[in-house]
């Protein structure tokens, strides 16, 4: 092997790039290998039609850890987060619920459905602020193993215990509820009006193969609340240039520290010599040596594909094989000849610069899940829309638009047929649903890109198309992510590490797994 | 082009207040457009409150009605004051607390009928009142938008109202009482209350008659020096009157982010509203404990030693210059170099010709007459001016109750 690096990172998704940047910053000679011709993984912007830039997969940002932004000087490397300040919930029949940064205006709009809910809205926001603050500590640490008697682990456990037991009583109880309840039940504690509950509970099911009434989804609500922008919790933003802008900024930061990034370099396996990782073999047969190898791919690929599963302890093998990574969502990206006109709010306005959520009620989303439970895509799906060109005009030619539609549910395993055959029917169903709220939609579509979970697996390698590299259920979080004993970013193979969203603290463009893995690697190898 | 209604929104008096607002200074008061000040300088508006009469649009106040067989039971449960003593046609001022005895909000409660009360609040409280009234036979209604509210404050306010309203005996209307009256053919409620500590009234009328009420008061009041006043001059008057402002002088327990940010009624000078003889109410147990232990804080007035303040400026070769407007940014208060509290609202008082502050001070240092120091920034440098702890209110003219 003529080539040799201190570290090879497999996959140039945001976590791989963050990991590489931190390792390079620590003085290591780092190589990032990306299978595709573009970097970013699911954090990618592509010009699918000339002049029209799609945030093909992930589309908004909130969870990106502020310490990563600072440590890697991301603004200096081109990161710009534009505000995404409102949420419009169009309703069947032409009504709407509109929430934005204007507190009292938002309250008045909620009060049209329930004066009581308007009042409770602030209490809810405050509770979630406390909850986000309470769990923030776990976002920034390598999970300790509660069964370990190692003094370092015990110290960490003691610190966590002290933190959580030190919470005010009511916050502690709420946290336990949040960890156990369904998002719908949790929200019922504050709210009674459907459009508000429907839209809020949608955050509890995004990316999961669960319905709003499934226990455990309340935690996912919190996961989406933990994003911080400029110190404010729950702020959502849109990266200039699309989410690919984030990957590009991280890549530039990594390169500024000396990391090398190679695209169209698919890795076929991790080379193991004498029981230790010693480099990677590419699909073209090349071999590259490295003192350590980090996989940013999901646990299925990290453990079952890149290395010989025979190298794994039986228990880990069983855990990873049963690791829940069912994909549940699809994406429809549209190039539009003009601005979409919402029946509930015609014309161009600030509502088009925020999120638009097709989530009129809890029942609506639960029904969407009912279809998926038995292997069909939802006939009336939950759709989370943003119109990036309204926020960043450079995303489309002047006067034209791109519209990003995250669609749920679209189960990876279809009851009948396959996604190749069902893709366009799924796209039609989404457009038909949207057209109920956007009457001019069908007349202005120039191009339609439909991505099913199967496509996500094919294109960016997300196993089963799961956007979070595995379900964000309590059974797969913290010291259980991805498997007991392996939440500390290491693997049973010495010199082989993991840093993807399948590790703590999970999915979303947080970069936290990539960073925590790098810090752990640097610490272990000092 | 946009269909989203820009915020804040007008009050029922906006059609009248808007052309009068020469300064174009508007404030967002609970999501409503409230005139900050009508003229470029606040002096005339302020003196209208103290010397003639001022019209202040207070429609953004949150207003709730609690009615039904259990109405008295519920208000007596919500408020630490004994609401059974609130007679028909009477108003009581009270804070209300959570179970831990921390203040949620403060406002007035008027008994409109034996089984009907109207509450004013600074913040939305509908969900809280509803929760308090769980399983009681009551109706709790948010009447915020179905009532326009206009304060007529100042020494001439009674004379003006006498000429504008009919079927009401204003001479018999005592302080903190209410009466029904008529504006032409239209019913309205008059309460003798206000946020100025002066002789004054608040008028409660259906929004569609708001314009007429305003016009009649302005026409008749012209001969009595009536002026519209914004909330900037009002802020000076309320500090002189020693009246609290939520989120400024104390933080609602619903909004506080830490325990230290919360206050019990004793901390903010409202211990007198807590009545342990009336049976159970929300926060009773906690408040009883606090009462026995003694509160950590006291709400006091601070009167600055003008000579000491002037000296800070003289040292910089400047004449003393203090902002004419009230300030809501808190200033640290010291005793022997140690911080003992904070002045949360402070202003130059045009009637008292002195700089005054509402302050929260640690109980051991809160003795009346005690000398303290207050931080004052002169020429970008933080300095200290001498001040004396005094009793609130600073200004309490006999006409307020006469």
B148 strand-pairing partners: B205
Q: Which of A119-133, B189-203, B379-393 has the lowest average pLDDT?
A: A119-133
Across B290-305, average pLDDT: 96
> What is the structure's pLDDT at A220?
87
Average pLDDT over residues A68-77: 96
Query: At which residue do the structure tokens 């709420």 appear?
Result: A174
The pLDDT of residue A260 is 98
Q: CB-based contact (8 Å) between B15 and chain A?
A: no
Q: How confident is the model at residue A223 (pLDDT cuts 50, 70, 90)?
A: confident
* Secondary structure of A236-260 in HEC code, one letter for each residue: CEEECCCCHHHHHHHHHHHHHCCCE
Does the beta carbon of B185 lie under 8 angstroms from any beta carbon of chain A? no
Query: Which of the listed residues B124, B145, B166 is the one where a domain comes to its end?
Result: B145
- A283-304: pLDDT as tens digits: 999 999 999 999 999 999 999 9
Nearest to A119 among B7, B126, B255 (CB): B126
The answer on pLDDT for A14 being more than 90 is yes
Boundaries of domain holding A519: 4-47+55-82+240-324+463-524
Would residue B82 count as lying in a domain? Answer: yes
A interface with B, Cβ–Cβ < 8 A, is 98, 100, 102-105, 107-108, 115-116, 118-120, 122-123, 126, 129, 168, 345-351
Q: How close A345 gets to chain B, by Cα (Å)?
A: 6
Report strand pairing: B338-349 vs B331-335.
antiparallel
Q: Give the confidence band of A101 by pLDDT, cuts at 50, 70, 90.
A: confident
Residues A349, B3: C-beta atoms closer than 8 Å: yes
Same domain, yes or no, for A138 and A227? Answer: yes
Q: Per mean pLDDT, which of A198-207, A215-224, A428-437 is the most reliable? A: A428-437
End of a domain among A426, A451, A476? A451
Q: Please give the pLDDT value at position B235.
A: 97
Does the pLDDT value for residue B308 go beyond 60? yes
Is residue B203 within a helix (H) or strand (E), and if so which, with residue range? Answer: strand B200-205
- Are residue A344 and residue A260 in the same domain, yes or no? no
pLDDT reported for residue B3:
53
Q: Among B1, B28, B130, whose Cβ lies nearest the Cβ of A348?
A: B1
For A130, residues 6+ apart whose C-beta sits below 8 A from its C-beta are A171, A174
Cβ–Cβ gap B254/A122 under 8 Å = yes
Q: Give percent of chain B with pLDDT exceeding 90.
A: 96
CATH code for the domain in which residue A428 is found: 3.30.519
The Cα diameter of chain A in Å comes to 71
Give the model confidence (pLDDT) of B151-163 as tens digits: 999 999 999 999 9
How many domains are contained in chain A?
3
Mean pLDDT of A59-72: 90
Contact state of A118 with B128 under an 8 Å Cβ cutoff: no
Q: Is residue A358 part of a domain?
A: yes
Region A445-459: mean pLDDT is 97
Residue A109, in any domain of the structure: no
Tell me the chain B residues in contact with residue A105 when contact means C-beta distances shorter than 8 Å: 4-5, 7-9, 31
User: Hey, what are B318's tokens?
Assistant: 């400047």
Q: Of the candidates B229, B251, B277, which is a domain's last residue?
A: B229
> Is residue B80's pLDDT more than 80?
yes
Are B168 and B37 found together in one domain? yes
B320 interfaces chain A, CB cutoff of 8 Å: no
Do A416 and A403 share a structural domain?
A: yes
In this prediction, residue B2 has a pLDDT band, given cuts at 50, 70 and 90, of very low
Q: Do B126 and A122 touch (CB under 8 A)?
A: no
**Phi/psi at A296 (nearest 5 deg)?**
-100, 5
Residue pair B108/B92 in contact (Cβ under 8 Å)? The answer is yes
How many whole angstroms separate alpha carbon A202 and alpha carbon A135?
Answer: 21
Question: For chain A, what is the mean pLDDT?
Answer: 94
Query: CA-nearest residue of chain B to A190?
Result: B127
Domain co-membership, B220 together with B308: no
Mean pLDDT of chain B: 96
Backbone dihedral angles phi then psi of residue B361, each to the nearest 5 degrees:
-130, 145
Whether residue A100 lies inside any domain: the answer is no
User: Percentage of chain A surpassing pLDDT 70?
Assistant: 98
Q: State whether the Cα torsion B68-B72-B73-B76 is positive or negative.
A: positive
**In the prediction, which pLDDT does B1 show?**
36
Q: How far apart are CA B143 and CA B206, in angstroms?
A: 10
Q: What's the burial of B334, exposed, middle or buried (CB within 10 Å: 0-12/13-18/19+)?
A: middle
pLDDT tens profile B346-384: 999 999 999 999 999 999 999 999 999 999 999 999 999
Q: Which residue range is the domain that position B97 belongs to?
A: 62-145
Contacts of B256 in chain A (CB under 8 A): none
Tell me: do B368 and B302 sit in the same domain.
yes
Task: Establish, for the pair of chains A and B, how many residue pairs have beta carbons separated by less than 8 Å.
Answer: 61
Q: Which two tokens stand for residue A268?
A: 């076929």
d(CA B384, CA B340): 14
Q: What angle do CA B274, B276, B281 make, to 5 degrees?
A: 80
Pair B157, B127 in one domain:
no
Same domain, yes or no: B103 and B155: no
One domain, residues A247 and A349: no
Alpha carbon of B52: minimum distance to chain A alpha carbons (Å): 34
Question: Is residue A230 over pLDDT 60?
Answer: no
SS3 A375: coil
Interface test with A, best of B1, B4, B11, B26 (most A CBs within 10 A): B4
Are B344 and B317 found together in one domain?
yes
pLDDT of residue A391: 95
B134 to chain A, any CB pair closer than 8 A? The answer is no
Task: Report yes or no on A338 lying in a domain.
Answer: yes
Identify the DSSP state of B113. E
Identify the H or E element spanning B372. Answer: strand B371-378
Note whether B126 contacts A108, CB cutoff 8 Å.
no
H/E element, B27: strand B25-29
Which residue in B has a C-alpha nearest to residue A170's C-alpha? B100
Mean pLDDT in residue range A348-356: 94
Q: Which B residues 142-161 touch A at CB under 8 Å?
A: 142
> Are A353 and A446 in the same domain?
yes
CA dist., res. A23 & res. A5, Å (int)? 12
Percent of chain B whose predicted confidence (pLDDT) is above 70? 99
Token readout for A442 is 């069908």
Q: What is the pLDDT of residue A294?
A: 98
What distance separates the 2 farthest-apart alpha carbons in chain B?
68
Question: Out of B2, B9, B255, whose CB is closest to A347?
Answer: B2
Whether B200 and B328 share a structural domain: no
The residues that bridge with B203 in the sheet, in sequence order, are B150, B190
Would you place residue A525 in the very low, low, confident or very high pLDDT band (cuts 50, 70, 90)?
confident
Distances (CA, A) of A268 to A305, A313, A449, A470, B36: 8, 22, 29, 22, 69
Whether residue A335 lies inside any domain: the answer is yes
């Amino acid at each position: 092997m003529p080539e040799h690096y201190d570290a090879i990172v497999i996959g140039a998704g945001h976590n791989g790039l963050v990991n590489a940047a931190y390792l390079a910053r620590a003085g290591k000679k780092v190589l990032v290998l990306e299978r595709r011709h573009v970097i970013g993984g699911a954090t990618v912007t592509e010009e699918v039609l000339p002049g029209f830039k799609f945030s093909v997969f992930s589309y908004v940002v909130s969870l990106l850890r502020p310490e990563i932004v600072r440590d890697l000087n991301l603004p200096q490397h081109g990161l710009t987060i534009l505000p995404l300040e409102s949420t419009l919930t169009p309703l069947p029949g032409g009504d709407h619920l509109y929430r934005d940064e204007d507190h009292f205006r938002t309250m008045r709009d909620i009060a049209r459905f329930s004066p009581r809910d308007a009042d409770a809205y602030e209490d809810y926001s405050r509770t979630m602020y406390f909850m986000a603050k309470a769990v923030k500590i776990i976002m920034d640490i390598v999970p300790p193993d509660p069964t370990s008697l190692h003094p370092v682990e015990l110290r960490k456990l003691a610190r966590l215990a002290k933190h959580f037991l030190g919470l005010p009583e009511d916050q502690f109880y709420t946290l336990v509820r949040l960890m156990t309840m369904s998002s719908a039940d949790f929200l019922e504690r504050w709210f009674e009006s459907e459009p508000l509950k429907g839209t809020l509970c949608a955050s509890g099911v995004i990316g999961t193969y669960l319905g709003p009434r499934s226990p455990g989804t309340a935690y996912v609500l919190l996961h989406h609340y933990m994003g911080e922008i400029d110190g404010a919790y729950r702020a959502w933003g849109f990266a200039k240039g699309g989410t690919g802008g984030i990957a590009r900024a991280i890549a530039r930061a990594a390169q500024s520290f000396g990391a090398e990034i190679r695209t169209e370099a698919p890795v076929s396996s991790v080379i193991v010599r004498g029981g230790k990782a010693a480099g990677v073999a590419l699909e073209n047969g090349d071999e590259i040596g490295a003192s350590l190898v980090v996989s940013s791919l999901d646990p299925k690929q990290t453990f079952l594909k890149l290395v010989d599963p025979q190298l794994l302890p039986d228990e880990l093998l069983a855990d990873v094989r049963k690791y829940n990574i069912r994909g549940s969502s699809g994406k429809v990206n549209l190039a539009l000849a003009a601005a979409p006109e919402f029946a509930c709010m015609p014309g161009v306005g600030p509502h088009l610069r925020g999120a638009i959520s097709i989530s009129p009620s809890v029942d609506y989303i639960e029904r969407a899940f009912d279809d998926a439970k038995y292997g069909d895509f939802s006939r009336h799906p939950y759709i989370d829309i943003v119109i990036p060109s309204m926020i960043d005009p450079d995303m489309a030619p002047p006067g034209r638009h791109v519209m990003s539609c995250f669609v749920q549910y679209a189960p990876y395993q279809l009851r009948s047929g396959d996604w190749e055959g069902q893709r366009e029917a799924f796209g039609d169903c989404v457009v038909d649903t949207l057209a109920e709220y956007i009457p001019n939609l069908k007349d202005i579509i120039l191009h339609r890109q439909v991505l099913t979970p199967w496509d996500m697996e094919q294109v960016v390698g997300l196993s089963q198309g799961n956007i979070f590299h595995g379900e964000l259920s309590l059974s797969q979080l913290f010291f259980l992510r991805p498997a007991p004993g392996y939440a500390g970013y290491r693997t049973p193979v010495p010199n082989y590490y993991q840093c993807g969203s399948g590790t703590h603290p999970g999915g979303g463009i947080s970069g936290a797994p990539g960073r925590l893995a790098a810090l752990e690697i640097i610490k272990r190898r000092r | 082009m946009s269909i989203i209604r820009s915020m804040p929104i007008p009050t029922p008096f906006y059609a009248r207040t808007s052309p009068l607002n020469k300064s174009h200074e508007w404030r967002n008061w609970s999501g409503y457009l409230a005139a900050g000040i009508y003229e470029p300088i606040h002096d005339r508006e302020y003196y209208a409150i103290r010397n003639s009469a001022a019209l202040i649009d207070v429609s953004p106040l949150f207003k709730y009605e609690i009615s039904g067989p259990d109405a008295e039971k519920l208000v007596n449960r919500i408020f630490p004051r004994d609401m059974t003593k609130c007679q028909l046609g009477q108003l009581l001022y009270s804070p209300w607390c959570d179970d831990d005895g921390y203040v949620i909000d403060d406002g007035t409660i008027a008994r409109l009928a034996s089984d009907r009360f109207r509450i004013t609040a600074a913040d939305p409280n509908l969900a809280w009142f509803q929760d308090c009234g769980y399983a009681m036979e009551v109706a709790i209604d948010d009447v915020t938008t179905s009532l326009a509210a206009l304060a007529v404050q100042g020494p001439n306010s009674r004379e003006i109202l006498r000429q504008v309203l009919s079927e009401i005996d204003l001479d018999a209307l005592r302080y903190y009482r209410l009466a029904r009256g008529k504006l032409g053919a239209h019913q309205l409620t008059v309460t003798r209350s206000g946020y100025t500590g002066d002789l004054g009234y608040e008028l409660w009328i259906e929004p569609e008659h708001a314009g007429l009420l305003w016009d009649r008061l302005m026409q008749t009041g012209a001969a009595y020096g009536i002026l519209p006043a914004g909330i900037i001059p009002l802020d000076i008057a309320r500090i002189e009157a020693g009246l609290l402002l939520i989120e400024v002088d104390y933080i609602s327990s619903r909004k506080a982010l830490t325990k230290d940010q919360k206050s019990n009624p004793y901390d903010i000078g409202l211990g007198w509203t807590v009545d342990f003889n009336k049976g159970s109410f929300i926060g009773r147990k906690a408040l009883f404990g606090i009462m026995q232990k003694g509160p950590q804080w006291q709400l006091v007035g601070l009167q600055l030693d003008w000579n000491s303040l002037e000296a800070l400026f003289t040292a910089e070769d400047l004449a003393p210059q203090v902002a004419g407007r009230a300030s809501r940014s808190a200033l640290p208060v010291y005793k022997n170099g140690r911080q003992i509290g904070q002045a949360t609202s402070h202003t130059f008082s045009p009637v008292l010709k002195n700089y005054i502050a509402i302050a929260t001070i640690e109980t051991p240092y809160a003795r009346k007459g005690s000398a303290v120091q207050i931080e004052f920034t002169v020429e970008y440098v933080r300095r200290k001016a001498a001040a004396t702890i005094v009793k609130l209110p600073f200004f309490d003219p006999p006409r307020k109750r006469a």
